[in-house]
Structure 1
Amino acid sequence: MACVDSARLTFTNQRIRRAGGDVDEVQRRKNRNKSKIRARVEHVFAVVKRLWGFTKVRYRGLAKNANRAFVALALANVYLSRRQLMASIRP
């Protein structure tokens, strides 16, 4: 059995912010960037799942399901940017 250097291991429970621990500005900036990306992605999935009922998919083959998902996500992006698109069309 090989000896494992425990100093190099990083577990997920070590990344949890403990009570009284301070978060430095670099970590705060990283968290903010992750949250921005996560929010933008999750809004698209919310439209697809809640508005259009794309919660469960019947297996029709990977290609058909992938195409259906890609089209649904593309339409969700158009749906979410509809105000900006309409503003650019109107004078």
Structure 2
Amino acid sequence: MQLLYNLSDLAMEDALYEIESMRHFADLRLDRLPDENAILNFRHLLEQPSLGKVLVKEVNKHLEKNGLILREGRIVDATIISASESRKASMDCYSFRILSAALPAF
């Protein structure tokens, strides 16, 4: 997941805390999540010449069997907040009212 979403060790730790689907995929419980050092050590373990390749091969085989394809992903965080009307929008309405008042009625 860290490679797929291009996350640093700290960002991966945060994602595991915040995103339930990632915890579910990794079969981790909220009370037993790895910290960034454990994630770093695990990543170094996977960098051993044969271990990472074997793991990727197994994951791809499992995904293919289930009709899935692994692609790079993005995590997007959007927070909706209320904001006051912009000054430009206010000025546009004001200009329209002035223009309307200046036009003769037919």
What TM-score, normalized to structure 2? 0.24
The structure with the largest alpha-carbon Rg is: 2
What TM-score, normalized to structure 1? 0.27
